[in-house]
Structure 1
């Protein structure tokens, strides 16, 4: 090989390598930030909805975050593979004769096996080049599929929510979860029937025309291999079954990563070796829960709970803020309030009582908001000027959270360490 030839890229280099590097290099930083933005979106939005809507919103979040994780991983892996390919190309230009196996302290058999496995350096470079392009194409295709699913589910969810909240039409949201499966049944039946009996049908017969109409209709809506050329190329050359298993594996891994990251965001103490730590649920009256203190809580990740300004109260009043919880407060208010009832008086009966060191406090509730999340809240100012220095307990009694009608369990999107009828907020003077 001449010096001029060694300075050129290999003959079979993928023509899109420069564009691939440009896209990966620019997009990788955005994709690495997108999962955190989606986390903030779901953590901020979920407490605003009742359980069944929050579950559907969580479904959209999982699809969107899975797509973001696939894209982020694709671009990072692609950059690493392209960097490896560039390194091989550069090294071959320095050593155009390739690997000199005689300079290794290897026996004849080991040297033969290693040389056969590597082959020509030009072939190794071509394999590295092709591998990078395949990773880039497959990641973009899979993320695009998830993005389309996310868009469809989000549109369906938005339409159902508008019907119920704006047009006051009762919507059974169970149909949203099953609609996609029902819609895909005719396509699956048509594909199986065509594979089994398609060759036996008369080309212009009624059955053949109906079968083609069904298949053609689905392809117009983006279903089918013809709408994913890159995936069709990969399936036809790598095997359809192998490709499907790979796609399912990638999707499951992405969904697992998205779900796990959400769980750890809500329950950070689940990660670590804390088996010997005392049970906080059993000792919640002796716990300084960060969610109870405005100067300690994380507005996005802390559970929705009543809170006061600080664990150490230096002023004459404790400012008690009780965020509005749709699943707890909405049903309780509807049961307690009549058409002409005073809403704040009804809320006071729903709260049932605010106690300081066991003594019921005469509180007057005011409408307010959680200033750090812009969510509605009810506020009460409690006079503590007569309290002695030391530890005190503020106890709030409320109705329990309404459980989901279908699953009969508290929605995991709104985890509460204690779904008891009261909250205890220790504070010091």
Structure 2
């Protein structure tokens, strides 16, 4: 008779079993190497994340609101929190495995292990109690080896989670930062309604198919299994790899203990994520942290707040310019060197207020490029409105440029205003939409004019 037990349906041959035991016996040295490399890689990851997030913040979050503004911050905080947990997991495995190696070497020197009857400075009763509580050294070595393997497997399960979360957030960013700005508002509304209906149907189907009465019927059991395939698609290629680890734990750990462990782990991860998110908010846009607020303090009005990033002499090297910048907070010379950033998030508005004209097909590529450059310069000089104190700067010639190490796209000009006051002054940069009476303010930069004596 054939064995219908899924766990024994495909038995390994004797040679395969011997090979597996040999690989298992030698896995500890690979664990040490992999844990060390993983910790080194995780330590390098925050800098890469910061660079990528700064790029997103500059190009897509400068003039956005709602979910599109919140999604990158959530993704950044979640990935950083995952990195912290991963580092702790690999560090724990590294320390435990290194300790295990020391115990194995100690057992090789003293094969009899702990001889409790010869422990000095102990009574026979204390020796017996230590023997009962601690047990033999070889048994503890085996127990520690199992725990090292579990921690190592959980660490890689978390790697799968990190990759999955990153891929899901990339999809969200693609939808909100690429698709949404390039479709009409009516089409975007239909897309949101359709996505909402799909999510609602998915939740209702999952709730119904996971009912015990439904699962006990043959048809319900088949539908439940088919429905799990939808979840596999959402795993984006991570399902098969993570299932080996997950199902091994599910089938060998008591459900109550598994729920307790998962709950504790979820709470710890949520706390780490929450702290990361709050810390990120405190560094985004000059806003105050929830735990570091002040009664008489505001960072949400540009004219009343000094943002170091808008001054060339105070901005950290390699940092992005948020909206605009001038040379210093204290101006000694009678001119302002102004750079206005051109983030990608401005494109949807600029395409509406300045649609590209139809060029003649008879023009050569070089001639078309030249005409496009001249037309672009005319449009941006028409749309950008610059004000110093209460006077609008007339005939401002903005030129295209790339600024800083990041090679930011933008426009640059030199202003020679005649209304500079000794002391406090305000520079305002706004975008004048021809369809509106009032201009949309991009940034207000306070500065002090202290002329040379």
Gaps of 5+ in 2: 1-21, 358-374, 433-440
CA apart distance, 1:140: 0.8
TM-score normalized by the length of structure 2: 0.67
In 1: Cα distance, 2:176 partner to 2:307 partner: 37
Give the match for residue 396 of structure 2.
364
TM-score normalized by the length of structure 1: 0.70
Give the match for residue 46 of structure 2.
35
Give the match for residue 446 of structure 2.
424
Query: 2:376 matched to 1:354?
Result: no
User: Could you say if the C-alpha distance between residues 32 and 121 of structure 1 is closer, same or farther in structure 2, counting changes exceeding 3 Å?
Assistant: same
SS at match of 2:86: helix
Query: 2:246 matched to 1:213?
Result: no
Give the match for residue 6 of structure 2.
none
CA apart distance, 1:122: 1.2
Is the Cα–Cα contact under 8 Å of residues 14 and 130 in structure 1 kept in the other structure? Answer: no
SS at match of 2:325: coil
CA apart distance, 1:148: 2.0
Q: Deviations over 1:379-403 (max 9, x none)?
A: 3312269979x74534326489xxx
Query: 2:155 matched to 1:139?
Result: yes
Aligned length: 389
Give the match for residue 393 of structure 1.
425
Q: Deviations over 1:173-220 (max 9, x none)?
A: 756689667535424432x23x44544x3x4xx555444433456557
In 2: Cα distance, 1:376 partner to 1:91 partner: 63
Is the Cα–Cα contact under 8 Å of residues 54 and 320 in structure 2 kept in the other structure? Answer: no
Give the match for residue 5 of structure 1.
none
Give the match for residue 411 of structure 1.
none
Larger mean Cα displacement after TM superposition, 150-159 or 233-242: 150-159
Q: Deviations over 1:217-273 (max 9, x none)?
A: 6557659899611121122222342353255335424533542453455489979x9
Give the match for residue 239 of structure 1.
254
Query: 2:62 matched to 1:48?
Result: no
SS at match of 1:228: helix
The root-mean-square deviation of aligned C-alpha atoms, in Å, is: 4.7
In 2: Cα distance, 1:299 partner to 1:289 partner: 15
Give the match for residue 100 of structure 2.
85
Tell me which of 308, 319, 344 is aligned to 2:380: 344
User: Could you say if the C-alpha distance between residues 112 and 369 of structure 1 is closer, same or farther in structure 2, counting changes exceeding 3 Å?
Assistant: farther
Q: Deviations over 1:283-329 (max 9, x none)?
A: 98787542221122137767724321234546563202233467789
User: Could you say if the C-alpha distance between residues 182 and 247 of structure 1 is closer, same or farther in structure 2, counting changes exceeding 3 Å?
Assistant: farther
In 1: Cα distance, 2:142 partner to 2:197 partner: 46
Give the match for residue 171 of structure 1.
188
Gaps of 5+ in 1: 1-10, 401-418
Larger mean Cα displacement after TM superposition, 114-123 or 372-381: 372-381
User: Could you say if the C-alpha distance between residues 295 and 119 of structure 1 is closer, same or farther in structure 2, counting changes exceeding 3 Å?
Assistant: same
Larger mean Cα displacement after TM superposition, 295-304 or 39-48: 295-304
